[in-house]
């Protein structure tokens, strides 16, 4: 709250001088002068009053200057705070200096700046932004389930098609408006109709015509078909302020909704959320600054950041320099291994190792010679040197046992990693229809140009395959060209190495995006498996409402996939981030990990201690 001290002056009643002699007047004047001189002498000998302090105030319009020292430039809201002092006559008191309290500043680097619209983005930076600026009906737990969030409770019909959510009252958007069931329905419809970002999670299942607000605090979502993991997917339904978005609708393709406010939100002038942080400043291609929302309804850590800056760059030298100068608190996960090693030697800096529901696959094209032959694919899986891939390339990674990350509910706990066996690989190749003429069918292997260490995996693959008589052509390909090439069966290579992450905390997320036919033509499935039996098994599992039954069906699917050898499972990903352990409490670094990507960077659970920053 701002406080404005108004100027005032002492007021004295007018006194009539009639009847007083001139000598008396002179005497009175002399006495007043003497008193004034004595008063001035007294004030000169009194020690100065202690300097009052005030809390820092930030504004959504004025950028803050960031320096490498703990000193923070404080900005003020739209109305400037004016501090004045009373000025009794005839003595004037000097205006005291206001010393701001230190901000709890958290700065994090990412591969890119977020997309600002929760119906558009789905990459890491965008998802982190949405988690912190917008609310969801439910919130994920470390056990892979969900707990109430904006929805205090919910009910589901026996057929699993009708979900009724009872909302918490008093949840405020950053605009000051209360969040209602109409906002939930609007946000879901908007995400599905725009069809970008996480809309694909809901589009196949939600019946938009029947989904509605029953009253101000009750939202009913109706599905066309049962979808067992529906509740966990709602951690991606980010609720927007429908009235605010409608005020900024421009011309667009969505009929009476124009552009659905997409242009306005993407411009980053302000957000439409109710989360623990609100947008302070958006610098296109450079950074996003968030400030703590004081009226947030939920819990936050006692020393949660008051300001967060999300940088959109990963250049190794820049990142290392910023960490060294305490200009960055947490790094991105894309730094070279040697950069992490260098940063770990900086006093007060540690390297967090955060397990993720993500696997590094070598995808094998099942419809292109020679990898269309199951015996060739099995030979490849037997010949690859998994131990060297970990020990000599990425020593922090874990060895996956199958197609689903082990931390996800539904990952088959009975699976064991395949062991390297060159002789068995050769025997398997002899069963192939290509045996005797393998030199006519070279394997084309693509690695991602933007991730330099992937070349070492590609060269290891090439060396291993040559041991059993397979010829490999290694090709460095930019990411966007990889995405484009994988849109068609004929332009997808025999082998391509890619990380794929679960979009929600169940095995069904990976099984669907990696091996169901609907995912062919996307970068998430280079296998072109298109197996009707696998498709039917995945659909059946996803449509199973009973949790335990659904888990068992996931196990069966994984065993079936492994029998087809469509992929080589190289790494189960462990995210590395350098962070300022001296003055930052980073929950995921302590093992508090939620098995959904990006939730490790829910900033309200971080703690910042500026007084501990090394000098």
Rounded-to-integer distance, Cα 446 and Cα 336, Å: 20
Residue among 501, 453, 493, 503 at smallest CA distance from 473: 493
Are 493 and 365 spatial neighbours (Cβ–Cβ below 8 Å)? yes
Burial 119-133 (b: 16+ CB within 10 A, else e): bbbbbbbbbbbbbbb
Q: Which pLDDT value is given to residue 399?
A: 96
Give the residues across from 571 on adjacent strands: 360
Q: What is the pLDDT of residues 273-290, one digit of tens each?
A: 999 999 999 999 999 999
Beta strands in 318-425 (DSSP E): 349-364
Residues constituting the chain: 615
The residues near 86 (Cβ < 8 Å, ≥ 6 apart) are: 5, 7, 8, 93
The model's confidence at residue 475, banded by pLDDT at 50, 70 and 90, is: very high
List strand residue ranges (DSSP E) for 307-376, in order.
Answer: 307-311, 349-364
Is residue 78 very low, low, confident or very high in pLDDT (cuts 50, 70, 90)? very low
Of 60, 54, 19, residue with least CA distance to 175: 60
d(CA 291, CA 305): 8
Contacts (Cβ under 8 Å, ≥6 apart) of 282: 113, 116, 267, 268, 269, 288, 289
Closest CA to 308 of 601, 611, 615: 601
d(CA 508, CA 173): 33
Alpha carbon distance 307, 58 (integer Å)? 9
* Residue 599: other Cβ atoms inside 10 A: 20
Question: Could you give the angle at which helices 422-430 and 374-383 cross, rounded to 10 degrees?
Answer: 170
pLDDT at 123: 86
pLDDT one-digit tens code per residue, 521-532: 988 999 999 999
Q: What is the DSSP letter of 545?
A: -
* pLDDT at residue 498, rounded to an integer: 94
Bridge-based pairing state of the strands 472-477 and 567-580:
unpaired
- Strand, helix or coil for residue 489: coil
Please name the helix (run of DSSP H) or strand (run of DSSP E) that holds residue 501, with its range, or none. strand 495-501
Dihedral, CA of residue 29, residue 35, residue 37 and residue 39, to nearest 10: -150
Map residue 220 onto helix, strand or coil.
Answer: strand
The dihedral through the CA atoms of 429, 431, 436, 437 has a sign that is negative
DSSP 154: E
pTM of the model: 0.76
Angle between helices 507-515 and 532-542 (to 10 degrees): 150
Task: Read off the pLDDT of residues 38-47 as tens digits, 9 standing for 90 and up.
Answer: 443 333 333 3
CB 192 within 8 A of CB 203: yes
Catalogue the E-assigned strands of 450-492. Answer: 472-477
Domain ranges of the chain: 101-118+125-133+275-348+581-615, 135-271, 357-574
pLDDT at 510: 96
Per-residue confidence (pLDDT) for residue 282, from 0 to 100: 98
Point out which residues pair with 107 in neighbouring strands. Answer: 309
Of the listed ranges 99-103, 169-173, 465-469, 555-559, the least confidently predicted one is 99-103
Pick the CATH number of 101-118+125-133+275-348+581-615 from 3.40.50.300, 3.30.2320.50, 3.40.190.10, 3.50.50.60: 3.40.190.10
Phi (first) and psi of residue 416, to 5 degrees = -120, 140
Give whole-number Cα distances, 257 to 194, 246, 252, in Å: 11, 8, 8
Task: Say if residue 81's pLDDT is above 50.
Answer: no
In CATH terms, the superfamily for domain 135-271 is Dipeptide-binding Protein; Domain 1 (3.90.76.10)
What is the third-level CATH fold of 357-574?
Answer: Dipeptide-binding Protein; domain 3 (3.10.105)
pLDDT digits (tens, 9 = 90+) for 403-456: 999 999 999 999 999 999 999 999 999 999 999 999 999 999 999 987 888 999
pLDDT, tens digit, 9 for 90 and up, residues 530-563: 999 999 999 999 999 999 999 999 999 999 999 9
Q: Which residues are CB-contacts of 168 (< 8 A; sequence separation ≥ 6)?
A: 148, 150, 151, 152, 297
């Amino acid at each position: 709250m701002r406080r404005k001290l108004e100027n005032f002056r002492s007021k004295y009643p007018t006194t009539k001088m009639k009847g007083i002699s001139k000598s008396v007047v002179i005497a009175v004047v002399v006495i007043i002068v003497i008193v004034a001189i004595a008063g001035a002498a007294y004030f000169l000998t009194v020690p100065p009053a202690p300097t009052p302090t005030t809390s820092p105030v930030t504004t959504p319009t004025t950028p803050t200057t960031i320096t490498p020292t703990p000193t923070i430039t404080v900005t003020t809201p739209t109305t400037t705070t004016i501090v004045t002092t009373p000025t009794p006559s005839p003595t004037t008191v000097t205006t005291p200096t206001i010393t701001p309290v230190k901000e709890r500043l958290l700065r994090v680097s990412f591969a890119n700046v977020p997309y600002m619209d929760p119906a558009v983005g789905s990459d890491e930076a965008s998802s982190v932004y949405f988690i912190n600026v917008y609310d969801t009906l439910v919130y994920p737990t470390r056990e892979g389930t969900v707990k109430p969030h904006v929805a205090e409770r919910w009910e589901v019909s026996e057929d699993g098609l009708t979900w009724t959510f009872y909302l918490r009252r008093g949840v405020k958007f950053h605009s000051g408006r209360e969040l209602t069931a109409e906002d939930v329905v609007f946000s879901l419809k908007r995400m599905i109709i725009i069809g970008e970002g996480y809309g694909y999670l809901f589009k196949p299942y939600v019946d938009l015509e029947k989904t509605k607000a029953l009253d101000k605090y009750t939202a009913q979502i109706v599905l066309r078909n049962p979808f067992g993991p529906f509740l966990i997917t709602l951690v991606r339904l980010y609720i927007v302020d429908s009235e605010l978005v409608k005020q900024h609708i421009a011309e667009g393709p969505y009929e009476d909704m124009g552009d659905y406010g997409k242009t306005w939100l993407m411009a980053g002038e302000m957000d439409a959320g109710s989360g623990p942080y609100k947008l302070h400043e958006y610098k296109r291609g450079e950074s996003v600054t968030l400030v703590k929302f004081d009226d947030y309804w939920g819990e936050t850590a006692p020393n949660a950041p008051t300001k967060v800056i999300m940088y959109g760059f990963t250049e190794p030298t820049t990142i290392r320099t910023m960490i060294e100068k305490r200009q960055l608190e947490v790094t991105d996960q894309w730094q070279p291994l040697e950069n992490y090693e260098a940063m770990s030697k900086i006093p007060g800096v540690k390297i967090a190792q955060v397990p993720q529901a993500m696997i590094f696959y070598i995808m094998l094209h099942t419809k292109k010679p020679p990898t269309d032959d199951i015996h060739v694919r099995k030979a490849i899986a037997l010949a690859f040197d998994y131990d060297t891939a970990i020990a000599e390339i990425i020593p922090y990674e874990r060895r996956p046992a199958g197609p689903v990350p082990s931390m996800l509910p539904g990952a088959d706990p009975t699976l064991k990693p395949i062991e390297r066996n060159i002789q068995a690989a050769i025997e398997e190749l002899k069963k192939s229809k290509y045996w005797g003429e393998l030199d006519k069918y070279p394997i084309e292997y693509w690695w991602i140009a933007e991730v330099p260490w992937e070349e070492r995996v590609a060269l290891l693959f090439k060396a291993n395959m040559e041991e059993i008589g397979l010829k490999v052509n290694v090709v460095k390909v930019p990411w966007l060209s990889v995405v484009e090439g994988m849109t068609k069966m004929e332009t997808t290579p025999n082998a391509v190495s890619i990380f794929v992450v679960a979009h929600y905390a169940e095995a069904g997320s990976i099984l669907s995006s990696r091996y169901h036919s609907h995912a062919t033509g996307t970068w998430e499935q280079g296998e072109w498996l298109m197996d009707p039996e696998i498709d039917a098994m995945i659909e059946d599992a996803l449509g199973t409402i009973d949790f335990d039954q659904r888990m068992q069906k996931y196990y069966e699917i994984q065993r079936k996939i492994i029998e087809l050898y469509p992929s080589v499972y190289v790494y189960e990903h462990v995210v590395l981030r350098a962070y300022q352990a001296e003055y930052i409490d980073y929950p995921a670094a302590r093992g508090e990990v939620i098995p959904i990507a990006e939730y490790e960077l829910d900033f309200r659970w971080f703690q910042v201690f500026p007084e501990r920053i090394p000098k």
